[in-house]
Structure 1
Amino acid sequence: MAGNKLKSEKKEPKKKKEAPAPSPDVLKPDKEPEVKVRELVKDERTHKVLGAVFLLLALYCFIAFTSYLFTWEEDQDKVFRYSSSVLFRDDVDVDNLLGRLGAFTSHWFFYKGFGVASYLFTYFFFIVGINFIVGRRVFRFWRNVKYIIFGLLFLSMTFAFLSGKSAFPWGGAMGDALNKWVSGFLGKTGTGLLLITAGICWLIWKFNLDFKWPEKQAKAAKPVMPAYAEEEAEDEGEVEDLRNAPSINDRYNGLKGDAPPVFKEEEEEAFDPALQLIEREETAPFATTPPPFAMPEPEEDLALEELKLTIHDDAPPPQPLPEPEPAPIPLDIPPPAPRKPKVVEDVAFEIKPVYEDPTDEEVEEIVPVREAVPVDPYEPTLDLRDYKYPALDLLENHGSDKIVQDASELEKNKNQIIDTLKNYDISIQKISATVGPTVTLYEIVPAAGVRISRIKNLEDDIALSLSALGIRIIAPIPGRGTIGIEVPNVKKTIVSLRNMLASDKFQHSQMDLPIAIGKKIDNENFIADLAKMPHLLMAGATGQGKSVGINTLLVSLLYKKHPSQLKFVLVDPKKVELSLYKLIEKHFLAKLPGEEDAIITDTKKVVHTLNALCIEMDLRYDLLKEAGTRNIREYNAKFTQRRLNPQKGHRYLPFIVLVIDEFADLIMTAGKEVEMPIARLAQLARAVGIHLIIATQRPSVNIITGTIKANFPARIAFKVSSKIDSRTILDTGGAEQLIGQGDMLISFNGEVVRLQCAFVDTPEVESVAEFIGEQRGYPDAFLLPEYIDEKDMEGKDFSLADRDPLFEEAARVIVQNQQGSTSLLQRRMKLGYNRAGRLMDQLEAAGIVGPNMGSKAREVNVKTEADLEEILNSML
């Protein structure tokens, strides 16, 4: 019976374990996850929150302390009267910027604490906050704590000693107490000597000052300094040249715990997070990240465990060791060993620093630097000696010159690029990013054995994965050994022309015709010399930035050149784009004689103007030939040094810039009549200071012929509609992938560079033109040589009755010089070749010169001016 009872008792628990069938109508509450305090403390988000709190506390104390310096007299009596209850009294008004709490906190730290030395608490909160937020040891915690404790005691006592009986608590209660006790023990003189000695000792301990008398010593072998020593100096804010130390023991002090210069870097500091952003693996909701301060002291541990070296004071001085052979420097530091092959974490990601061009914001006027010339030179700018260059205030600052880097966007695009390439079994070693105002350049280093053409063919796939327009692949980047992928930024930065003109590169440029075009991807200003281009061809679809680009070039020249040094010939078939520059007609514009408007809009007048420029080009080449010079710069240098005689037709030659806003319209209406003079100017005019800027909407082969294109080595392409147009203008594709609004490619010096064109608005151009137009100018615009079309002279006989109005003047020029040359009439009278030839035929008919003798000059039959006057009077 007893056995049966025991068996029944053993069977009962099994029946209790059987759970009843769950009812579908009853809902069980979800089990809440348990949050452990230890995991919460170690969580990375907790550290970042604490870091933000400490940074806010540092800022709060700094503002409260600074306000206390100015409001302590008004707030001190209120804090004294109410003590801590002042925090909860609404009827008490204080002057501190942070209210009653700020007044009470400042009073407690300054008056009852350490005085002005209380600012060290702000520094303490700051370094703690930075270490928590970054998640690594940016500042060495315990070393800074030691400095802060010493500074609190030393500074409070020093300020109390120097302030004497001042009403302001310079040293606080602690400083006064220390100063009173030490002064009673050592006296005031002894206290002062003690403070001076303590300060000098701290400087020696901190900076290891050298008090040796300078002696000439033989150069010792330079020790190889480890990387950790340089990082230690950077953490403490020290900038020392560690590699130039005369010996090992001079730099590494054994009392500080420093080890000899044989050290192995910690793996966690092999990469600088400021430059290397390596994606971390996704962690659990509570990642176990070590706190930034729970770190072993590497100096002592590694010195004992790895080095195990001892230094004896009684040992003989070490002999200079031979300089060891430097170890080969790896081109790329390998990342830590991956856990899984072919993952995103294998690729090192680097964000390159943005180039910052130094600017001078205080510059109001741009004064060009003039070359030194001999005594009493000719100065062409004295014609308008009171001319003032436009100030930078006339231009607006449309955006910040700084480029904001979005780390999340960079990380996302980097991962998308790596994933897309990985889907096609393309592995890469490294990827780096350079953030520009409009696009970001991602440079990738493919793994060994990867063909570049495979990556080039994935252009559309990468654009699809990034969901972006304007993806452009450069395979490879010339001179870098990498493959570039240009991705448009989500937030684009406007490049302001004012910032570019204020840059040091533009202000102090020695270029003949400096033009500020735009900024590169690395934020560097692209400033070129139009005189060395020497001509510029611009193309792009409607509304992509051609007109703004022309205004940018013209305004750049107006800010740098004097009216006597530069003239514009503006051709505007649209009749509205360049009309703003009409105000500077008497300063910078050139036109045909007898014309009312200096801005040419009629096609027939354009043909006459281009042929007049060809005549001016021929006249200038004749002047260069007589002067024995090869280009306009040498000629003007001779003229300013008064080595050329103006009586022989020599004159100062300003630069002439021909600007055509819409070249395609001229070709469609005039055809060969425009193409031929343009081709002549493009081929020959560069040496005599005539330069061309031509813009067109559609750069087709029938508009930009091979003859014109061959003489325009510098070309700018804004966004075009097709790859064919891009190849027409640049001889390569890529312009069809631009994103518009000033995004451009420039082909210059055999290199294609992507720029963001500088922006200048129409009101700014109008302000600059009005500023120049209101000043005193020349009596008239710069007159080009007269051109008479042969079609207009057809059917007319060379009779003396219908002689040219300039007949008598031409006869006197020929007789005075005793040279029957058509080119002489062109230079002296600024005539075209056709009119000068007709005058020479009329002079032959009158018997003043002889017949044509081929390449030789005609013989002059009239020898004196008196004989000439008789002939002219007989013809009346």
Structure 2
Amino acid sequence: MFTKLKLRGQLIRAFKNAEVYKSYKRGDRTVHQYPRIHHIDNTDAYTRYSFSLINGINPKVFDDKLWAIKQVLGSNVEVNGKLKNFSITVHKKSMPKLVKYNYEDFKPEIERMELPVVVGKDIYGNYISWDMAELETLLVSGEIGAGKSSLLRAILSTLIKSKSPDEIRLVLADLKRADLGLFHGVEHVDSLSFEAKEMIKPFTKLRAEMYRRGDLLLEHGVTHIKGLPFKLPRIVTVVDEMSIIKKERDLVELIEQIASQGRALGVHLVIAMQRPDADLLKSALKSNLRVRISGRQADATNAKVAGVPGAHEIDAGARGRMMIKIDDIQTFQGVFLDEEECKRMIAPFKKDVPIKSAQTEQLVESIFGEEW
């Protein structure tokens, strides 16, 4: 009982420090009304406080004042909830400092997924993973050194190793000319573009394929490719540093179309940006980005634009430390996959495809044939 009272007092101090209360006058005194605490769960691994906000308290206070909560409760803190009902979890363990990519380690966890994505481990050593067939769009952002490049390598390597070219096709755009060139020649890859002008041909073909798939759904009277009497491959589109093409409205609109219509058609989207672009993400993309991952952001504004409030508070010295938002926001240590290891892993899946020039696209014949 004494421990619970002590923990309750700490939470009240955290609320006071973050100004999570309503004030009113009682005579000559100003009284603070704090959130209603429902339950305190104290284990060897964590302490979790469940509570509800008083009417009139803006729930976004936790986005702006998480630092004040951490000043009282400690740095390993996560806040989850919406509107009125929230929980604060104070972890007693430390996040792993390095999570090396090990396909065999997480293989049993992803075997039943159609499009497995594995991005790292949480504070308890559990893998953070999901099926992109169900959560079809992803935004990855963060400052230089946040771990985006390693994460993209890991995501693509997992898809390539776990699925055959008949099951998945990849359409890649590496506008930074930095990371995705490693996947040149991989038999799953239909195109690899390095400039906006190089994206026009493969992305126009992609749009045509989306229309074709839409017609097939209508013809067979189904609402998803899963309902078709034959199997179509999933198509995963990756655009690294999309902000470079923000003025290319035709391309941006096509990418928005993938985000909004792709799920039923089996077309999926991964967007990466160093600095989240407010203009791009205020467009039709915003409501259709199902999963958001952020490394450290420069400030609270960038973190908010990225859709991962609190990302600006990630320790600058914690390389690979990230936050993910699906329903709630969770901190994790991103998987580390360096270039040489990535090359070794995907070498068995490469074909002998010559690079015509440093600025050319790779457009291999897809399983749909030359007309795709």
Q: Which of the five TM-score ranges fits, normalised by the shorter chain?
A: 0.7 to 0.9
Counterpart residue identity of residue 245, structure 2: L
Tell me which of 352, 365, 369 is aligned to 1:782.
Answer: 365
CA distance in 2, matches of 1:600, 1:546: 19
The answer to whether the Cα contact below 8 Å between 2:296 and 2:312 also exists between their aligned partners in 1 is yes
Equivalent residues of 1:520, 1:754 under 8 A apart = yes
Residue 589 of structure 1 corresponds to which residue in structure 2?
189
- Out of 331, 335, 338, the residue aligned to residue 758 of structure 1 is 335
Q: 1:478 and 1:771 mapped to 2: Cα distance? A: 50
- SS of the counterpart of 1:563? coil
The answer for the alignment partner of 2:42 in structure 1 is: 432
Partner of 2:273: 696
Native 8 Å contact 2:40 2:47 kept in 1: no
Tell me which residue corresponds to 2:258. Answer: 681
Name which of 455, 466, 474 aligns with 2:79. Answer: 474
Compared CA separation, residues 545 and 419, structure 1 to 2 (3 A): same
The equivalent position to 1:743 in structure 2, one of 308, 315, 321, is: 321
Counterpart code for 1:498: N
Equivalent residues in 2 for 1:796-811, closer than 5 Å: none
How far is the alpha carbon of 1:499 from its aligned partner? 6.3
1:620 aligns with 2:247: no
The alpha-carbon deviation at position 699 of structure 1 amounts to: 1.4
Hey, what does 2:137 align to over in structure 1? 535
TM-superposition CA deviations, 1:743-772 (whole Å, max 9, x none): 222222x33333322222222211112122
Q: Is the contact made by 1:520 and 1:755 (CA closer than 8 Å) also made in structure 2? A: yes
CA distance, structure 1, for counterparts of residue 260 and residue 305 of structure 2: 20
Q: Which has the higher contact order (CA 8 A, sep 6+)?
A: 2
Q: Which digits, 9 at most, give the CA deviation of each residue in 1:646-670, with x for residues without a partner?
A: xxxxxx6321111111111121xx4
Going from structure 1 to structure 2, the CA distance change for 1:488 and 1:460 (only over 3 Å counts) comes to: farther
How far the C-alpha of 1:694 sits from its partner, in A, is 0.7
Structure 1 residues 542 and 514: CA distance shift in structure 2, 3 A: same
Deviation at 1:784, TM superposition (A): 9.0
In proportion to residue count, which structure has more strand?
2
Q: 1:600 to 1:665 in 2, by over 3 A?
A: same
Listed as ranges, the matches of 1:717-732 within 5 Å are: 717-730=294-307
Q: Secondary structure at the match of 1:686?
A: helix
For 2:28, the equivalent position in structure 1 comes to: none
Deviation of the 1:500 alpha carbon: 7.0
Deviations 1:340-376 (A, max 9, x none): xxxxxx2259xxxxxxxxxxxxxxxxxxxxxxxxxxx
Residues 541-598 of structure 1 show CA distances to partners (whole Å, capped at 9, x for unaligned) of: 22111111111211111221012211111100122311111141xx11103xxxxxxx
Where 1:606 maps in the other structure, the secondary structure is: helix
Question: Structure 1 residue 830 and structure 2 residue 367: aligned?
Answer: no
The equivalent of 1:716 in structure 2 is: 293
Q: Secondary structure at the match of 1:769?
A: helix
Compared CA separation, residues 626 and 720, structure 1 to 2 (3 A): same
Residue 443 in structure 1 maps to residue 48 in structure 2: yes
- The number of equivalent residue pairs is 339
The separation in 2 between residues aligned to 1:576 and 1:458, in whole angstroms, is: 36
Q: What CA distance in whole angstroms lies between the structure 1 residues aligned with 2:347 and 2:222?
A: 38
* TM-score under structure 2 length normalisation: 0.76
| 1:445-594 correspondence runs (5 A) | 459-461=66-68, 463-464=70-71, 472=77, 474=79, 482-485=87-90, 489=94, 492-498=96-102, 501-502=105-106, 504-506=108-110, 508-509=111-112, 511-584=113-186, 587-591=187-191
The CA deviation at 1:479 is 11
In the alignment, what sits opposite 2:27? Answer: none
Question: Percent of aligned pairs with the same residue?
Answer: 22
Corresponding residue to 2:237 among 658, 669, 672: 658
Equivalent residue number for residue 7 of structure 1: none
SS of the aligned residue for 2:179 comes to: coil
Letter in 2 for 1:656: I
Structure ID, larger Rg: 1
Distance, in Å, in 2 between the alignment partners of 1:829 and 1:579 is 23
Partner of 2:331, secondary structure, is strand
Cα separation, 2, equivalents of 1:653 and 1:452: 49
- Whole-angstrom distance in 2 between the partners of 1:677 and 1:687: 16
Q: Distance in 1 between matches of 2:164 and 2:213?
A: 20
1:138-196 Cα shifts (integer Å, max 9, x gaps)? xxxxxxxxxxxxxxxxxxxxxxxxxxxxxxxxxxxxxxxxxxxxxxxxxxxxxxxxxxx
Cα 1:433/1:702, change in 2 over 3 Å: farther
Scaled by the length of structure 1, the TM-score of the pair is: 0.34
Q: Is the 2:14–2:72 contact (alpha carbons within 8 Å) kept by the matching residues of 1?
A: no
Name the amino acid aligned to 1:524: N
Q: 1:712 to 1:560 in 2, by over 3 A?
A: same
- Which has the larger helix fraction? 1
Residue 155 of structure 1 aligns with which residue? none
Paired with 1:738 and 1:759, the residues of 2 have a C-alpha distance of: 17
> Partners in 2 of 1:666 and 1:552 — Cα distance?
24
